[in-house]
Structure 1
Amino acid sequence: MHTVLAVGRRFGGLVIVFLGVTFLIYAMTFALPGDPIRALGGDRPLTDAVVRALRAEYHLDQPLWEQYLQYIGGLFRGDFGTDFTGESVGAQMASRWPVTITLALTAWVLEIVLGIGLGVVSALRRGTVLDRTVLVSTIVVGAVPVFVLGVALQIVFSVRLRWFPVAGTTSGWPMAYILPALVIALFGLAAVSRLTRTSMLETLDTDYVRTARAKGLAPGRVVGVHVMRNSLIPTATYLATDLGYLMGGTVIVEGIFNLPGVGNLLFQAIRSHEGATVVGISTALILVFLVTSVLVDLLHAALDPRVRRR
């Protein structure tokens, strides 16, 4: 019963956050300067009658709160809206999700393998040159803006060394995705390695680990069974949460590497003032992040019995 109530509270909080965030995005998007309806005419201005008809068709002649309620009502029917050319936003996203999901999952796997690996090695080699190198490298990587890092790696590994394609997905997975995924993963990778290192160092100094060593257990068994099992709980929580961030963090990278994903579609929609597309994609990304957050809470409770007792 307690578990059911806890899950209910989490989902209740999810609904409140979802409504609040989507309303803010909706309000800010349609409050941007410029008139997207008149912009449809290009060099040939639309007549006032046509402008009024289009505003009525897209409900832009109604108060903001009524527009938002109609939009939320459409979401419950699986309708993410229609852009100003009459094309379904949901259909546009459906054709681009595979690229974004592939990119995000590739970056996530890189975070898990490299981040945890570097963190474990750094903790086991505490105070050595390797340990200090990992710490300094992760700090430096975290300080570089993502667009600078993306362009720099693209010039070095794609243009000069020609190890990876410069742009597009023609080469398929993994060649077309490794480099952009690495750009996204480097920031989370730095956090994962530092978090793993810190957690492992704390666990290595606990009494039960010293007792296991005193009993003569093999070092590999001490680290693999007693240290890793407890040390990776905060890392697993972070990685599960970061998957939601990775889905939304592909906007800049997809633009740099010209990947036809949801992030690239969002970037194009912002440039062309396609408010319905911007709100639809943002809403989908918010849903991914919120659902991931709830699953992380449940995962944390499953991994750590102390959380279940609260």
Structure 2
Amino acid sequence: MKFSRKIIAIILSAFSLSSSFSMVQANAVSDDDIIKTILDNRSVWNLKKSNNDDYNYSYVLLLDLNFDGKPEFISSENAPLSQHLYKFYDLDLNNKNLNKMSELMMSANLNNVEFSSYSYSNERFYTVKSLVNNSPQTRYFTNKITFDKEISINPLFQKYIYTNDLSQYDSWLYYDIDKENLVNTTESDYNRRYEKYFSDLTNLNLRYRIVEIKYTDSYDTAYEKLKQSLDNFSVDLYLNGDSNQDGIVNVNDVTYLQMHIAGNKNTDGSTFIDETNKQLFNCVDMNKDGKLSVADVTALQIYISKNKLF
């Protein structure tokens, strides 16, 4: 009887494993699926042919805007009045569609912006900083991008110079954004708010690559360019100093790191921190000396105090 139960258990276990493997295989998302979905909808985002093919190109990149491990697609193109139109798309791989989530009109194209991913408390979001340098004015914008069902873009800071002589940088004007309205402020107040805002954030270590796809590019050429962008796509969701991996950096992480260094083990005998996990290790190795020690505990305490993380 025991033997029969054992055989049945083995068969059920094997069936369960094979079923779960099949599910994983069926739901797996390949680079080819992503790129083909984008290219099959090329008419939606890539600029159309006009009299001057030199201007028929789109800057594109892939970002994980909702931090679910899957990329969303962004394109930028020229628009009237020297503006650039950003288009944000969700990839519907099942139906091979691009679902537009939002648009943003800005004076800078993707080649003039810097995307960064950040965390504050339990919130994760992107900032995009753009530089527009069109004589006689130069502008810097900083916007916050958050994701729910649609993309939400909130302006944060802005400064610009408007002068016929761009060497006269004493003419900079500084603005905070209050309820989506520009509020004139001093340079010191601007810097104080700007620096305070980013000092309270944890950078999530974003990697991305912007590529240019021309209207005249062949399918294969466009495919290779998108592959380059996808190969650079990643967001390190391990927060700096989050030793216990609860998504919050606070004094509990100090205690957890101390216990790990002291040699404490989990109930299953495993170490508190898996030092073979390179991403996790790099986030906990606070002084970047390649080992975990009391020096990292001290560095983590200083980091938490400095960034007022509790």
TM-score per shorter chain, which class? under 0.3
The structure richer in helix per residue is 1
Normalised TM-score (structure 2): 0.25
The structure richer in strand per residue is 2
Normalised TM-score (structure 1): 0.25
